[in-house]
Chain A
């Protein structure tokens, strides 16, 4: 009998990443049925002020937006190709971030800067055999970006606004209907 597990992940979270590699290592050795579930830190933390985090690093909020962008790609892949592609795509996206060479500096700021950096996600899609001609965070047209980075940054700077509210409801109502 295999163990069943739901694993909620945001590709930009380093704790998620190392924990997920443990789960993959267990699944390699034992029958384990993992359901990989996207969970955006940017949306999860929406009600929590980023002010304290910004003291640790001003790029903290941007790093979470990078995670959200990657999860939008994950969501699109799941919609188009089914839930079975999610685990491998998470691996490929996570490796883009976490298996990269370390940045110049050796402090939290340097790592956060690397986490917040925009990167080409197409190599991850190619790695798992998915098409790369979808809208990616670099090229996504406004029509598909209800919760795009720019409105979020505006709302973070200005406090809660109506834009943020509609963004949240759009995201919180959409995923469950498409969940496996």
Chain B
């Protein structure tokens, strides 16, 4: 889960990281509590308010 779509070079950085983990033979799982309600125009008043945990 991510709370907002990364753009440009950041999008590729995250992609490469996920792909690396996904293709890593011994990698199994990773878990962290949700950071925020997803940040979109419609949900902009809610995202990163009391829902934020980072």
Contacts and interface: CB of A to CB of B under 8 A. Distances in A.
Interface of A: 3, 14-15, 17-19, 21-22, 24-26, 29-30, 97-103, 105-108, 110-111, 114
B2 A102 contact: no
A30 B14 CA distance: 13
Contacts of B54: none
Contact of B43 (A25, A26, A29, A102): A102
Interface of B: 1-8, 11-12, 14-15, 19, 37-46, 49, 51
A101 B49 CA distance: 17
A111 B50 CA distance: 14
Contacts of A106: 45-46, 49
Contacts of B51: 108
Nearest to A22: B5
A102 B3 contact: no
A96 B32 CA distance: 30
A74 to B, nearest CB: 19
Question: Do most interface residues of chain B lie in helix, strand or loop, or is the interface mixed?
Answer: loop
A98 B2 contact: no
Contacts of A107: 46
A106 B3 CA distance: 17
Contact of A15 (B1, B12, B14, B49): B1
B4 A25 contact: no
A101 to B, nearest CB: 7
Contacts of B41: 98-102
Contact of B12 (A26, A99, A111): A26
A4 to B, nearest CB: 11
Nearest first, the 5 closest Cβ-Cβ pairs linking A and B are A21-B5, A106-B45, A14-B38, A98-B40, A25-B11
A83 to B, nearest CB: 23
